[in-house]
Structure 1
Amino acid sequence: MDLKKVLKILILCFIVSAPLIQSAMAVSNLNAGLTIDLLNQKPDPVKPGDVLEVSFSIQNTGSNEKKNVIVELVPKYPFKEISGHGLIDNIGTLGKRYVDERSKVVKFEVLVDNNVNKGQYPLEVQVYESGKKDKVCVSREFNIYIDSESNAEIESLSLEKLVPGKKTNMSFIIKNVGNSPLKNAMFSWESTNDIILPVGSSNVKYINFIDVDENVTVNFEVMTNVNTVPGLYKLDMKLVYDDVEELKTITEAGTLENQKRKTIESKAGIYVGGTTEFDIVFTEQTATGDYSFSVSNIGNNKANSITVSVPEQEGWATNGGSNSVVVGSLQKGDYTLTDFSLTPDRYDESLPLKFLISYTSSDGERNVQDKELSVFASEPVNPGKSAGKSILSTWLIGGLLIIGVAGLLFYKKKKA
């Protein structure tokens, strides 16, 4: 081959490779002596959904100082960037070894995915010269341990009050607030001295599966004795389930999940007592024209400060005075009489009449019940006319009696 051609080829190769050689020298120069260490992490271990804070030490152990050094955190699943928190830090110049300012500490914060399983996950850190990210000199991954396990809570209870003798639905909401599914869950409850008992089923419910962030509602029909003393009673709740861990046992049959049972116990209060029920019946119309009614407490709780009122309504008007009667207190099964001076729009027919019964229940709350019944409106008898008729009848009877006696005496005298 011609010597000139060989020389031209060598020169061309040098021209083409010169930038690459220069770049490699720059990278080598920046990389020489740089080290990255993970100082600490908070929290440790971190859990799904947590904010992870990591601190790194960047050191220059080389013989040349490093200028315009950039440290960047490169998060990958399950780590996420937090809005407003930067992942790039310009630490400036790192002095050469034996110089005080040859190392610096940088901190970053990232969010851990809420649904990640337990295990170790890499978190990458890159160090490069400002404006030359394509010439990364150091890239290192640090394994972050994430502790993930299932966790459940009894989120809510639908029932706060229970009326004695009344069958009521009681619901519990069980939520998986952990980061792995719940399996083979068993929920149960019991009350102090069996004051509250399930009706038609046991106090135990089984749940096969609850996924992450999901909840399940379990229902019971419950009742308490009609003679239960009003008050607040404790309800003990218990949830037992399988916690499926990431740790697995290898056997000849294959890969088996290692499971363990977890138990959560909690308690709540249920007030037994509260409202009651009333019945109102028309009894008679008095001689003065008032309408009399019987008010009965037919519920299972005592009622205090009872007031019976006749509100303004079509068909009836109150004849002055108050349209309310204060009854006081009624034990369950008791009754009392109330009178109202009422004038109907028309007579000799049954008209609807509305009542309001206000009372304080055994739990201290004020309650109102609406009642309506049909009342026969009859015209009241005039007291003056009645008195006149009575006097006339008395005189008539007296006169007849005198005439009879006089006749008898006359008859005897004539016969003699």
Structure 2
Amino acid sequence: MDLKLTGFICLLLLLSSFVQPVLAEDTLEDESTSDKSLGLDKGLTIDLLNQNPDPVKPGDILEVRLSIQNTGYKDLENCVLEIRPEYPFRTLAGEKPVQNIGTLGKRSEDDRIRVVKFKLGIENSVNAGKYPLKVYLYTNGNNKLSLTKELNIDIDSESNAEIEYISVEKMVPGEKTNLVFGIKNVGNSPLKNAMFSWECANDVILPVGSSNVKHINLIDLGNTANVSFEVLTNVNTKPGLYKLDMVLTYDDIEELKTITEAGTVENQKRKEIKSKAGIYIGGTTEFDIAFMEKSPTGAYTFSISNIGNNGANSVKVSVPLQANWTITDGGNSVILGNLQKGDYTIADFNLKPAEIGKDLPIKFEISYTSNDGIRQIEQKELSLYSSPFTPSAEPGMPEESGSGSLKYKAGFAMLACVACAVVYKKRQQKIKVKSAQEKELNEVNSEDPDR
């Protein structure tokens, strides 16, 4: 009786030793992609050893190290491991998404484990969160899919922005200006649904033709978006530095959860950045110069007017060296002093034209100190008629009919009259002397007729 029981138990143990490898072999032929069933039934495991960096940021390169292990009772030959990047992952140039890892020994052998590395790119537009990376393990080459696994990759997204630049530092009162703000994404995630606005204290600067608010759909990682406004300030604005208050708001990833119409969960919250900058109002002005009159001695008179919206200090007007006109007395500059907007004054220059009787262009330089303390130079040019000038002032010039030639003729006439008078006086003296001599001779002859 005991011998029969003992033999029956031994028979059961013997049968169980043959049944277990058969079950393991059958499960390897199962093509189910369930992680749980494949891992337990076939004795295959895929684990994420580590990711670098951890967490990874948008736009970075991710390196993952995977551990593949055979815990079954049979060797697995020609094993192939594949990753299939889907958003937010992408394949990098030169990196292979498929690697042949050879034979995985059975559970009692040393070569049952392989460690495999993959490098992937992370899209710039991804939000923070955990994203699945799908991994596929094939046996017998690429013929049989033995295991799939989804590895959760932690992605961190930090949004941040700054006003990188403002296109205008100075504005002229009453002059329309294109004001451009550069908004740069300096964070690790895209800026979405951004809204930018600005305001000047006491409404000194106001937008023209639009509001002071602009929307930006997306600013990608590291990019700069430009928003422009046509602005204007009052013509009578007092020169000085004025403050601009700027506000930028955009969607940020936070704990606040909302449900969209499509039924998906979004973790979005508005983030606000406030900043300020200064813009100087004032600066340069404009001048107008016009010819008024010419004196008989060759002095030309010009009027200089401040027609801009700002005052000008220490104004000086000069006639630079040029081909058509030269200064005859050496003084090519005239100091005019201060000219407020709307003021004018006059300046005289003794000029000699290169040609007579023609309209010749003449150039001027007007230098002044603007109300922001900077020395400015403005170039002006006008056409000036070169009329004849006085020969006494310039004896080398050819004679022309006019007041100058009349003076020459009058002078010559006076000289001629004086010469005639002298000649006439001398002749009269000679006649008187001859008459006296003849009279004396006649008297002598009358007294002594024999002589």
TM-score interval, smaller chain? 0.5 to 0.7
Distance 2:391 2:158 in 1: 87
Cα distance per residue 1:349-404 (max 9 Å; x no partner): 765534344667666877653423353433222327769969999xx9xxxxxxxx
1:318 alignment partner, one of 317, 326, 329: 326
**Identical columns (%):** 42
Please state if 1:372 is matched with 2:375.
Answer: no
- Asked whether the 8 Å contact 1:311–1:323 carries over to 2, the reply is no
1:84 alignment partner, one of 74, 77, 94: 94
Aligned to 1:125: 135
Distance 1:40 1:346 in 2: 93
Please state if 1:210 is matched with 2:217.
Answer: yes
SS at match of 2:272: strand
Aligned to 2:441: none
Change (3 A) 1:325 1:84: farther
Aligned to 1:16: none
Distance 1:153 1:199 in 2: 22
2:272 alignment partner, one of 263, 282, 285: 263
- Asked whether the 8 Å contact 1:210–1:216 carries over to 2, the reply is no
Any residues of structure 2 matched to 1:45-64 within 5 Å, and which? Answer: 45-61=55-71
> Alpha-carbon deviation of 1:263?
1.0
Aligned to 1:279: 288
Instruction: Kindly report the root-mean-square deviation, in angstroms, between the aligned alpha carbons of the 2 structures.
Output: 5.1
> Alpha-carbon deviation of 1:83?
0.9
Aligned to 1:72: 82
> Alpha-carbon deviation of 1:238?
0.6
Query: Which blocks of at least 5 consecutive residues in structure 2 are unaligned?
Result: 1-24, 31-37, 394-403, 418-451
Please state if 1:197 is matched with 2:208.
Answer: no
Larger Rg computed on CA atoms: 2
> Alpha-carbon deviation of 1:237?
0.8
Change (3 A) 1:188 1:293: same
Distance 1:120 1:33 in 2: 27
Any residues of structure 2 matched to 1:300-379 within 5 Å, and which? Answer: 300-302=310-312, 308-310=318-320, 312=322, 316-318=324-326, 325=333, 327=335, 330=338, 332-333=340-341, 337=347, 339-343=349-353, 345-347=355-357, 352-357=361-366, 369-379=378-388
2:193 alignment partner, one of 178, 182, 200: 182
> Alpha-carbon deviation of 1:147?
5.7
- Asked whether the 8 Å contact 1:65–1:94 carries over to 2, the reply is yes
- Asked whether the 8 Å contact 2:171–2:281 carries over to 1, the reply is yes
Please state if 1:144 is matched with 2:133.
Answer: no
Distance 1:167 1:352 in 2: 32
> TM-score w.r.t. structure 2 length?
0.59
> Alpha-carbon deviation of 1:82?
1.0
One-letter identity of the residue aligned with 1:317? W
Aligned residues: 362
Change (3 A) 1:124 1:242: closer
SS at match of 1:383: coil
SS at match of 1:262: strand
Distance 1:202 1:317 in 2: 51
One-letter identity of the residue aligned with 1:123? L
Distance 2:144 2:337 in 1: 90
Aligned to 2:118: 108
- Asked whether the 8 Å contact 1:290–1:342 carries over to 2, the reply is no
- Asked whether the 8 Å contact 2:327–2:349 carries over to 1, the reply is no
Aligned to 2:258: 248
One-letter identity of the residue aligned with 2:333? V
Distance 2:331 2:74 in 1: 101
Distance 2:298 2:385 in 1: 13
Change (3 A) 1:305 1:33: farther
Distance 1:388 1:219 in 2: 72
Query: Which blocks of at least 5 consecutive residues in structure 1 are unaligned?
Result: 1-19, 397-416
